[in-house]
C-alpha cells in the first residue's frame, strides 16, 4: 500500500483564506468539556425531575453510551472515510477528515470544533426525540450519548499526544496508530475496537505492531 503524506508537526496548516472560517476550524482540546458537561448535567437533572428511577436512568444512560460507540464507528467508516471523486467533494472530505490524516498531531484539529459538534449534537438530539419522545428516557439516554462523545474526543487527543502507561490504553492507542500509519481502511473504532471486530474491519494479526508509530 502506498503511503500518503503524513506530517508529524503539531502546528496547524491553513485551510481557509477567510480568517473567520480558519478560526472556526480550530479548537483547544478542553473546549468540548466546557460546552457539553453542563449539557450532560442539565439532561440528567431533567431526567430525574421527570421522576425516572435510578435503575431506569442507568439503563438508558448506558444505552446512550453504547449507541455512541456504534455512531462513532459508522461516522468514521462511512462518512469520514467516504472518498468522493469530484473536486468539491474532495475539498469537503479534506476539511472534515483528510486534514487529520495528513496532520495527525495538529493540536488544534484533534477534537471536533464547536462549529461542527454543536450542530451535530442538535441533529442527533432531534433524531432521538423522534424515536424516544420528549420524556425522562430521552433525558437519560442523551447525556450517555454525549458522554460517549466526550470520552471519544478526549481519548483521541490523548492518543496523539500522550504516552500511556496502562497496557489497556497502550492497546487502544496502538489500534488507532495502525489506522493512521499503516492502513487507514481498517481500525475505524477510536475509543473502542468492538465494532471493528464485529464488522470485520480489525487489523490482521500479521500487521506490524509498534508502540509509537507516530514517532516514525
Q: How far, in Å, CA of 12 to CA of 199, rounded?
A: 34
pLDDT band of 21, cuts 50, 70, 90:
confident
pLDDT in tens, 175-204: 999 998 889 999 999 998 999 999 999 988
Q: What is the pLDDT of residue 214?
A: 46
Q: What is the pLDDT of residue 179?
A: 92
Report the SS3 class of residue 151.
helix
pLDDT (average), residues 37-49: 96
Inter-helix orientation angle 54-74/31-49, to 10°: 140
Q: How far, in Å, CA of 138 to CA of 34, rounded?
A: 22
Q: In the chain, what are the helix, strand and coil shares in percent, each to the nearest 5? A: 65, 0, 35
Count the neighbouring beta carbons within 10 Å of the beta carbon of residue 164.
Answer: 15
Altogether, the residues listed in the chain come to a count of 216
Q: What is the pTM of this model?
A: 0.88
Q: What is the pLDDT of residue 28?
A: 93
> How many Å is the Cα radius of gyration of the chain?
18
Amino acid at each position: 500500500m502506498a503511503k500518503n503524506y503524513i506530517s508529524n508537526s503539531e502546528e496547524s496548516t491553513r485551510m481557509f483564506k477567510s480568517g473567520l472560517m480558519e478560526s472556526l476550524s480550530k479548537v483547544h482540546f478542553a473546549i468540548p468539556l466546557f460546552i457539553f458537561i453542563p449539557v450532560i448535567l442539565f439532561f440528567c437533572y431533567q431526567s430525574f425531575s421527570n421522576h425516572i428511577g435510578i435503575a431506569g436512568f442507568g439503563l438508558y444512560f448506558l444505552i446512550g453510551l453504547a449507541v455512541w460507540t456504534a455512531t462513532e464507528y459508522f461516522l468514521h467508516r462511512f462518512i469520514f472515510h467516504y472518498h468522493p471523486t469530484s473536486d468539491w467533494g474532495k475539498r469537503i472530505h479534506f476539511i472534515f477528515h483528510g486534514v487529520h490524516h495528513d496532520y495527525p498531531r495538529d493540536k488544534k484539529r484533534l477534537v471536533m470544533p464547536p462549529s461542527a459538534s454543536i450542530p451535530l449534537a442538535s441533529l442527533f438530539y432531534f433524531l432521538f426525540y423522534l424515536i424516544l419522545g420528549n420524556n425522562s428516557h430521552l433525558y437519560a439516554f442523551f447525556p450517555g450519548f454525549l458522554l460517549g462523545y466526550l470520552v471519544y474526543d478526549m481519548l483521541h487527543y490523548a492518543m496523539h499526544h500522550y504516552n500511556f502507561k496502562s497496557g489497556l490504553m497502550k492497546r487502544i492507542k496502538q489500534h488507532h496508530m495502525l489506522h493512521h500509519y499503516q492502513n487507514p481502511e481498517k481500525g475505524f473504532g477510536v475509543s473502542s475496537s468492538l465494532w471493528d471486530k464485529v464488522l470485520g474491519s480489525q487489523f490482521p494479526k500479521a500487521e506490524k505492531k509498534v508502540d509509537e508509530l507516530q514517532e516514525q
